[in-house]
Amino acid sequence: MRILKLLAHIIIISLLTALTQIGGLIWISAVFISRKTKKKKRLVFPLLYIVCNLIIVPPIASYFGREKLPTFNKNLKPRNWFYPLAFRNYVNPELKIELENTADVLKVSNITITYLDANFPFINGFPLLPHLSHNDGKKIDISFIYLNKEGETTNKKPSVSGYGVYANDDQNYTCQQCINKGYWQYDFTKYITFGTINELELDQQNSALLIKQLLNISNSQKVFIEPHLKNSLGLSNQSKIRFHGCQAVRHDDHIHFQIK
């Protein structure tokens, strides 16, 4: 029985660490506190987790060169509560300032920047799964802009997670080529939508405006989107828009942006 309990703890710690970076450490602390105070872990863990998320981690992260993105700002916000709750909304101070400035510019056009995965709060090189490169505070995934059934720009997104619903999928000539080469993971994000909730179409005009504004940032390095979207959005002359390669996942459900 003790071996099974130990195994269960190891599994929980591993999953929480992979998902949130420091959730495993919080679990270990909660187990210790629970034993000392005779309080149940199901009470201690969530309370300790929230305290760490809101109070303890943000100031410590600043010493590691990371800052927390806003959660309730109407012009720059997460797709849902998961991203800030899982400590996946940290970037370096420079990127945070640039995103906030870009959001202020775009609000005139009624465009809200909706972010998805950014980075964890600590340690360059620590992987933010399932991403290959979100490990230095300089990268972030951002949602496209969409149109509702009436053809009006909306801040709604087609899936719960923000990933996995592909824009202009019938035009994506790259996806099948990558899959045929054996890169099975290329369209893996279709399995992590966690539900499609809105029937929306890509707002090509405002999505292009969003990308152009990101590229106007002086230290912008690159944007990843699918080649077919680079063409259809009229961005063929933008040299910083790159194809990410078959080893990654497809980028017609989100924008990958990074600075130097």
> What's the pLDDT at 260?
94
Going by their DSSP bridges, the two strands 241-242 and 220-224 should be labelled as parallel
> What's the pLDDT at 169?
87
- Residue ranges and CATH numbers for the domains of the chain are 2-63 (no CATH), 68-259 (3.30.1380.10)
Instruction: Report the 3 state secondary structure along 19-75.
Output: HHCCHHHHHHHHHHHHHHHCCCHHHHHHHHHHHHHHHHHHHHHHHCCCEECCCCCCC
Indicate the pTM of the whole model.
Answer: 0.93
Query: Where is 91: in which H helix or E strand?
Result: strand 90-91
Query: Where is 224: in which H helix or E strand?
Result: strand 220-224
> What's the pLDDT at 224?
97
> What's the pLDDT at 102?
96
Beta bridge partners of 166: none
Contact criterion met (CB below 8 Å) for 141 and 115: yes
Copy the structure tokens of residue 241: 């828009």
pLDDT along the chain (260 residues), means of 10: 86 97 97 89 94 97 96 94 98 97 93 97 93 93 96 94 93 89 93 92 96 94 95 92 93 96
Instruction: Classify 6 as helix, strand or coil.
Output: helix
